[in-house]
Structure 1
Amino acid sequence: MTSKLDQLKTMTTVVADTGDIDAIAQWRPEDATTNPSLLLKAAASEAYRPMLDKAVAFAAKQGGSRAEQLTVATDMLAVLAGKEILSLIPGVVSTEVDARLSFDTSATLKRARRLVEFYDQQGVDTSRVLIKIASTWEGIRAAEQLEKEGIRCNLTLLFSFVQAVACAQAGAHLISPFVGRILDWHLANSGRDSYPPAEDPGVQSVTRIYNYYKANGYNTVVMGASFRNIGEIEMLAGCDRLTISPALLQELKDDQGELTRQLNADTAAGSDRLGTVDEKLFRWESNEDAMATEKLADGIRRFAADQIELEQRVRQMATAAA
């Protein structure tokens, strides 16, 4: 019997949920995804020091205020990291727009286009880059425009069904529903200390979205994210993609048990009916979902905090180099 990881790879595209170059080189996933939190952790390693130096030098040449140089430097750092990751994998890498722009469509568009421009300047095939944007109403509208321009998007921090439907209707290339953070909320608010994998609220949410997409002919890719245990991963075997941390990849590799496919596009069926999602419906359905509202806000705050800390680290390096 092969490992559960090898079995999973026969039915699902496995993505590495890490910005650690060494971990990506070890696991050799099809795709990789990063965010400010992962980049902040990775930037502490020596492997990232040349990228940090190059990003700071690049920003200094661009001129502008110190604040403007910081945003340029952190964007370039993300691009340089993405370029290095792409040299290790055959697929695509996701690069995130600053979470502080999550409620500003025009600013999100500007930063997304700049990230793609930076990738192009680095000689990277931009078709291998996904721009990662929070699944706010404003973020989804930005993604809709970017997709029309040929810039593929990964809609992240997705916790609710209405977010998923709005993303598909906007033509988003991929969504990243957060399984583990949904479970976290329910554990904190239900009085329970655990859920069996089949009853895990995060698993049920992704299963519902997957079946709705496939039953209704949407081409948007479903990539489950933010896992807390391999039981969640096993219950989503067959999902389009799953982005998994190195620690859980190791658990799957070490497990020689049988892995049964749970999701299948050919047999997907769902009774959900939701018409065109306009802003009023989106905001009302979001308001009615306390978990999704709270976790979206919390996720944006966390990514923004890590972005600020990353900028502080870059500022310190720039000061030391001056």
Structure 2
Amino acid sequence: MKFFVDTADIGEINELNTAGLIDGVTTNPSLIKKAGRDFKEIIADICKVTEGDVSAEVIAIDQQGMIEQGKILAKIASNVVVKLPLTGDGLKACRALTAEGIKTNVTLCFSANQGLLAAKAGATYISPFIGRIDDIHTDGMELIHHLRVIIDNYDFKTQILAASIRTPLHVRDSAIFGADVATVPPAVLWGLLNHPLTTKGLDQFVEDAKAADIKI
């Protein structure tokens, strides 16, 4: 499974890159607002330090506006993926941009039927929002499973990009149920390393090395 990091912070992206942990980046208007810089400049800078796909979201909600903004965003760098909402106009824009060879990420997916429509529209990625589904007492992982079956049944090329990831368990279960990608906040991604037995074992090794006066 590929890991994308969900952030617009260049420092966080660079730190994860040094560990070889990420394959791409996703952003949204909320993350851009938090970064406090010009939108297109941030996307350009992220693309410079990221070899994989970088999702940049349109702000228009009508078909023509999304198409025009998508073309502008796609010109920033070759690895930009245009992020579109899962609406009728969004799917029309997806079809038009895909026809021009522009990658798309259809976001705000909350049902298997929505995902099926996005795949038929030619989306490069479909983003089911796992955490938000859990918030309404529904099983987000069931959606990942249903999307995996549907996409495989009909050999769609759309990749499942598990989003709204909040815990290491979300990451683990997304991998088990066959998501192609998980987009993960930096803190959660680093949190995948944590296990009390790892910490306990390392502490014991360090203590024993000192006691044995081991030198390398």
TM-score, normalised on structure 1?
A: 0.57
User: Is the Cα–Cα contact under 8 Å of residues 158 and 175 in structure 1 kept in the other structure?
Assistant: yes
Preserved contact between residue 78 and residue 95 of structure 1 (Cα < 8 Å): no
**Letter of the aligned partner of 2:13 in structure 1?**
I
Whether the aligned pair in 1 keeps the contact of 2:166 and 2:184 (CA below 8 Å) is no
Contact 2:126 2:158 (8 Å CA) reproduced: yes
1:112 alignment partner, one of 70, 80, 91: 70
Give the counterpart of 1:129 among 80, 97, 116: 80
Which residue of the partner structure matches residue 66 of structure 1?
none
User: Is it true that 1:212 corresponds to 2:154 in the alignment?
Assistant: no
Structure 2 equivalent of residue 236 of structure 1: 174
Match of 1:82 in 2: 43
Alignment map for 1:92-241 (pairs within 5 Å): 92-98=53-59, 101-102=60-61, 104-117=62-75, 119=76, 124=77, 126=78, 128-186=79-137, 201-237=139-175, 238-241=178-181
What SS does structure 1 have at the residue aligned with 2:136? helix
Counterpart in the other structure of 2:207:
none
Question: What is the RMSD computed on CA atoms of the aligned residues?
Answer: 1.6
Alignment gaps of 5+ in structure 2: 198-216
1-side partners of 2:195 and 2:128: how far apart? 25
- The change in CA–CA distance for 1:114 and 1:88 in structure 2 (over 3 A counts) is closer
Paired residues, number: 191
Q: Which has the higher contact order (CA 8 A, sep 6+)?
A: 1
Matching residue of 1:315? none
Q: Deviations over 1:151-183 (max 9, x none)?
A: 111001111111101111111111111000001
3-state secondary structure, aligned to 1:154: strand
Percent of aligned positions with the same letter in both sequences? Answer: 32
> For 2:6, which of 7, 10, 17 is the aligned residue?
17
Is the 1:175–1:223 Cα contact (8 Å) retained in structure 2? yes
Segments of structure 1 that go 5 or more residues without pairing to the other structure are: 1-11, 44-51, 53-76, 187-199, 258-322
Q: Does the C-alpha gap of structure 1 residues 97 and 144 become closer, same or farther in structure 2, counting only changes over 3 Å?
A: same
Corresponding residue to 2:188 among 248, 263, 287? 248
Alpha-carbon distance between aligned partners in 2 of 1:253 and 1:19, rounded to the nearest angstrom: 22
Q: Which protein is richer in strand relative to its size? A: 2
More helix by share: 1
